[in-house]
Amino acid sequence: MKKILFENIVVEDDKIGIDLKTEDDAAIDEELFFEFSNKVTLTDDILAVALCTLCGQKYDYIYMDLDISEDVFQTIVDYTNSVLEVNNVLFKKCAKNEGNELALLFSGGLDSLSVYSLLKNQNIMPLNIMSLDFGGVFAREELFFRYFVPHTIRTNFVSLKLNRNSSTFMYVPAILLSKTLNIKYNIIGDIFEAENHLCKRGDDCMLRPLDISSIPLILGLTEVGTAMVSAYYSPELISFSLKSLAAFGGNKYLRKQFFVDIISEKYGIDLVYERMDGSNSVPFGKFFWIDFYSFYLVKNKGFEEASKLIENMPESIIDISNELSLNFYERFNPLYLDEIPESLRPIFLERLAMASVYPYDANDFYEIDLIFKELKRHHKDVVIDIFDEGRYEKCRKLFESNIVFGSED
């Protein structure tokens, strides 16, 4: 039986200390800590929800030295599918959050920079920038995100490898700061090809007792789209963002650099950044999120340049890249538009259009279906039926309620 225990929890104005023990393949007996850049207001319910995001569905048994409300208790049980033991279960509901503010988890990469660009300086909902300081190899992120003066949480849960249990660890800042900052909506940088298949998101059910909702703001954008938005609104920050998101010389840095190269040339945006020469390739078929861009890179950089990033690409990739427009990589899929608060949609769509990011047209839906069918041959877990006719019509109606559906033409 795999167990995790959160014991001797000490909460102070600006930090939390927890004795963490696990009984699994990597037994841990260390302190888990969270240190805040400002004083915070916490409850046991808030802390319990935050801790459950670090558990995922890995453990059979969870213990938390906390007194929590019955709805929070049941939510954690449902989410983790574990036996949960706590200090006390309180026969009352969790206190509802009456706030109306946005929380953005900001790492400094092009994806989170694009979210910031789309939501900054608007007077509809206050935007709170939050960052996780993991230290170590992630110190490069802090060098950039501190420029934005975020609410920072320094923590060691990555060094304890708790982030490997679930991607929902990214909800931690919005949860822990929810009462302090009146957080109603949480935004992370989930994009189009997240988690190996289209538009799949981490389960955010644990947020419901706190009355927090996740907004899939850029789930309709690819990495190309987020780079377009960032380059248009923050060209002076591209160099810093590239250095923040990946180690120079790595595959990820090269991939993002290629996108910035293409955007700079295609849209005439003067961008200054440190260029990586040479190659850092991975074999085709190993990583879905890299193979997904093989078509776009072959079309816009040529096979030789694309091979610096992805080796042993099948001939079919070249053939398809030559046959299709592949415009959808630079456009917005409106499938989840109705999950963005209605009050934010107009400014969101307007700012996308200013950055030359337009919604899908009928051909884009046709082409993305072909791309995913081809990828299905190499990645058996890829969802290929998400764009059925009913969903396309739903997208059309949603978009027609805001602006004209279609491209810039």
pLDDT at 195: 44
What residues does 15 pair with on adjacent strands? 35
The C-alpha atoms of residue 299 and residue 322 are separated, in whole angstroms, by 7
Tokens found for residue 151: 């609410």
pLDDT at 301: 96
* β-strands 151-155, 127-133 pairing: parallel
3-state secondary structure of 171: helix
Q: Please, are residues 102 and 95 in contact by the beta-carbon 8 Å criterion?
A: no
- φ and ψ at 92, to 5 degrees? -155, 165
pLDDT at 199: 41
The C-alpha atoms of residue 353 and residue 348 are separated, in whole angstroms, by 9
For 173-200, write each residue's pLDDT tens digit: 999 999 999 999 999 888 886 544 444 4
Using the structure block, give the residue that is written with the tokens 């079309």: 299
The C-alpha atoms of residue 74 and residue 272 are separated, in whole angstroms, by 51
Q: What is the DSSP letter of 332?
A: B
pLDDT at 197: 44
pLDDT at 165: 92
What's the Rg (C-alpha) of the chain?
Answer: 22
Residue segments in the chain with a per-residue pLDDT below the cut of 70: 137, 193-203, 382-409
The C-alpha atoms of residue 302 and residue 52 are separated, in whole angstroms, by 46
253-256 contacts, C-beta under 8 A, 24 or more apart: 253/280, 254/279, 254/280, 254/308, 254/309, 255/223, 255/290, 255/293, 255/309, 256/110, 256/223, 256/227
pLDDT at 404: 38
CA dihedral sign, ordered 206, 20, 93, 76: positive
The C-alpha atoms of residue 259 and residue 2 are separated, in whole angstroms, by 43
The C-alpha atoms of residue 250 and residue 352 are separated, in whole angstroms, by 29
List the one residue out of 240, 200, 199 whose CA is nearest residue 221.
199
The C-alpha atoms of residue 41 and residue 178 are separated, in whole angstroms, by 9
The C-alpha atoms of residue 147 and residue 264 are separated, in whole angstroms, by 24
- How would DSSP label each residue in 341-388? -TTTHHHHHHHHHHTT--B--HHHHHHHHHHHHHHHTT-TT----SS-
Other residues' Cβ atoms within 10 Å of the Cβ of residue 43: 19
Length of the chain measured in residues: 409
Tokens found for residue 172: 């931690």
Greatest CA separation for the chain: 64
Using the structure block, give the residue that is written with the tokens 């072909």: 370
Helices and strands, counts by H and E, the chain: 16, 12
- φ and ψ at 200, to 5 degrees? -90, 135
Q: Please, are residues 113 and 141 in contact by the beta-carbon 8 Å criterion?
A: no
For 114-156, write each residue's pLDDT tens digit: 999 999 999 999 999 999 999 876 787 888 888 899 999 999 9
Q: Please, are residues 113 and 234 in contact by the beta-carbon 8 Å criterion?
A: yes
Q: What residue type is 242 in one-letter code? A: L
Alpha-carbon dihedral 138, 140, 145, 151, rounded to 10 degrees = 40
Q: What residue type is 78 in one-letter code? A: D
Q: What is the DSSP letter of 249?
A: T
Q: Please, are residues 197 and 381 in contact by the beta-carbon 8 Å criterion?
A: yes
The domain spans of the chain are 3-90
pTM metric for this prediction: 0.90
Report how far apart the first and last C-alpha atoms of the chain are (Å, whole number): 60
pLDDT at 274: 87
Quick one: the chain helix, strand, coil %, rounded to 5?
45, 20, 40
